[in-house]
């Protein structure tokens, strides 16, 4: 059986392709121009839609919620006061027993000063006290008893002299005695009386109310006062901590010559701490004593602790237009350090169930606030009256209601523009 073989160029033997195939082939052969034309048509359609309907805008919804108005600022940690520790005497430092930053206890020895001269002065003063005490004992144990005995002897001599005088007087009066005997008796009587008076004076002066005893007691008191002074000065050679705390400054080393009035160490007492903050003058009207605050150290931003506004400086720093305030930290966390930088958030007012709008949607908030409200496909300028101003949000008193949609400032939309609202 014979088969016919098609030869090239024989049109009578090749069927013609369909029209759809021919059209697709033509499009494929001109694919790049066709693609360009398509993109132009798409862009034109989008531009026309944007022109007619406006750009898509992510609007924010006005809601109700609790709003806290606060003042945010930075400050540093301090103790309510600091104690400067110095020397009360002039001397050479023998040893410094503490380091900067060390915690110390009340009465702990901090600095030792060379004290050999002071120790010698104490020994000398102790000798003076012993000598004065011996003088008082001598008056009490020897001088006073001897004076008493001398007085008794003088009184006995006086009695004998008086008796002899009486006898001589009677003999002289009766003519049996001579004048010479009477004169001798008179003289002995006068001498005996003088001896009695002298003995009485000796007894008085050696008694507790007498001048010798008072003088001895005075000398003893002076010697004891001198001893106490020298012992106190010897105690000054050991400088101790006046109370518990942390040493934040050390300005002395071994061998230094110290003098009274110069601070050698600075102690931050343990206990309450405070935050010292410079607040912008414009926020002064929002502050009041007793307001609560939350603070966080810049070194520990995830940890927060409570503070309370305890002091507002009555004057304003004219150079910085700021006011110094202090916040008491009654329970400071263990990680706080002196002069550590902290951020504080002072709650100055609170409103529950308030109409809240994000701050990013409010224009000209300080003078004539307004928002761009999405309404009927357009951005409508709507003046608003603001109340409390929290962190990132404002309270709206008039002009908006919950559920309204407002346009953030960053969209670039102007009042009257057409928009297509998209809620994120």
Report if residue 29 sits inside a domain: no
Q: What's the gap between Cα 250 and its chain centre? A: 18
Number of domains into which the chain is organized? 4
Cα(71)–Cα(64) distance, integer angstroms: 22
Cα(309)–Cα(81) distance, integer angstroms: 17
Q: What is the 3-state secondary structure (H, E, C) of 226-274?
A: HHHHHHHHHHHCEEECCCCEEEEEECCCCCCEECECCEEEEEEECCCEE
pLDDT in tens, the chain (424 residues): 334 444 444 444 445 556 555 555 665 665 666 566 666 555 544 444 444 456 888 889 999 999 988 898 999 998 888 899 999 999 999 999 999 888 899 999 999 999 999 999 999 999 999 999 999 888 888 888 888 888 889 888 889 888 888 888 888 788 777 788 888 888 988 898 998 898 888 888 888 888 888 898 999 999 999 999 999 999 999 999 999 988 989 999 999 999 998 999 999 888 778 999 999 998 898 899 999 999 999 999 999 999 999 999 999 999 989 999 999 998 889 888 888 999 999 998 889 999 999 999 999 888 899 999 998 888 999 999 999 988 789 999 999 999 999 999 888 888 888 888 886 6
Are 158 and 193 contained in the same domain? yes
Cα(154)–Cα(197) distance, integer angstroms: 9
Are 277 and 205 contained in the same domain? no
**Which three-class secondary structure state does DSSP give residue 72?**
strand
Report if residue 146 sits inside a domain: yes
Q: What is the residue range of 65's domain? A: 57-69+351-422
Report if residue 151 sits inside a domain: yes
Quote the tokens at residue 415. 């009042």
Are 139 and 228 contained in the same domain? yes
The answer to pTM > 0.85 is: no
Are 250 and 284 contained in the same domain? no
Are 218 and 256 contained in the same domain? no
Contacts (Cβ under 8 Å, ≥6 apart) of 380: 372, 373, 374, 415, 416
Cα(111)–Cα(86) distance, integer angstroms: 10
């Amino acid at each position: 059986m014979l088969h016919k073989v098609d030869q090239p160029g024989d049109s009578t033997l090749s069927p013609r392709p369909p029209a759809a195939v021919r059209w697709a082939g033509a499009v494929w052969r001109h694919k790049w121009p066709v693609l360009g034309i398509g993109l132009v048509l798409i862009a034109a359609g989008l531009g026309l839609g944007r022109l007619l309907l406006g750009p898509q805008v992510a609007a924010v919804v006005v809601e109700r919620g609790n709003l806290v108005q606060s003042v945010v600022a930075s400050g540093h940690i301090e103790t309510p006061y600091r104690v400067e520790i110095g020397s009360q005497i002039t001397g050479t430092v023998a040893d410094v027993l503490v380091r900067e930053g060390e915690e110390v206890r009340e009465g702990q020895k901090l600095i030792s000063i060379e004290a050999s001269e002071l120790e010698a002065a104490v020994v000398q003063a102790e000798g003076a006290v012993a000598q004065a005490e011996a003088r008082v004992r001598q008056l009490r144990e020897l001088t006073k008893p001897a004076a008493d005995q001398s007085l008794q002897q003088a009184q006995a001599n006086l009695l004998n002299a008086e008796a002899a005088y009486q006898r001589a007087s009677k003999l002289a009066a009766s003519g049996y005695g001579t004048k010479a005997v009477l004169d001798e008796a008179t003289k002995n009587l006068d001498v005996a009386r003088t001896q009695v008076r002298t003995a009485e004076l000796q007894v008085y002066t050696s008694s507790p109310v007498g001048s010798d005893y008072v003088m001895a007691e005075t000398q003893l008191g002076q010697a004891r006062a001198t001893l106490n002074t020298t012992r106190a000065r010897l105690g000054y050679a050991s400088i101790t901590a006046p109370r518990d705390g942390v040493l934040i400054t050390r300005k002395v080393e071994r061998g230094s010559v110290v003098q009274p009035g110069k601070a050698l160490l600075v102690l931050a007492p343990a206990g309450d701490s405070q935050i010292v903050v410079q607040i912008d003058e414009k926020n002064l009207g929002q502050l009041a004593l007793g307001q609560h605050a939350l603070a966080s150290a810049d070194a520990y931003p995830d940890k927060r602790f409570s503070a309370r506004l305890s002091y507002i400086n009555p004057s304003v720093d004219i150079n910085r237009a700021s006011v110094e305030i202090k916040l008491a930290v009654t329970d400071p966390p263990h990680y706080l350090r002196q002069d550590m930088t902290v951020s504080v958030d002072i709650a100055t007012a609170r409103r529950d169930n308030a109409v809240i709008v994000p701050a990013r949607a409010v224009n000209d908030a300080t003078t004539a606030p307004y928002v761009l409200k999405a309404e009927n496909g357009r951005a409508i300028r709507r003046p608003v009256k603001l109340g409390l101003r929290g962190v990132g949000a404002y309270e709206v008193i008039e002009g908006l209601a919950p559920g309204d949609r407002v346009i953030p400032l960053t969209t670039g939309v102007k009042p009257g523009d057409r928009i297509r609202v998209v809620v994120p």
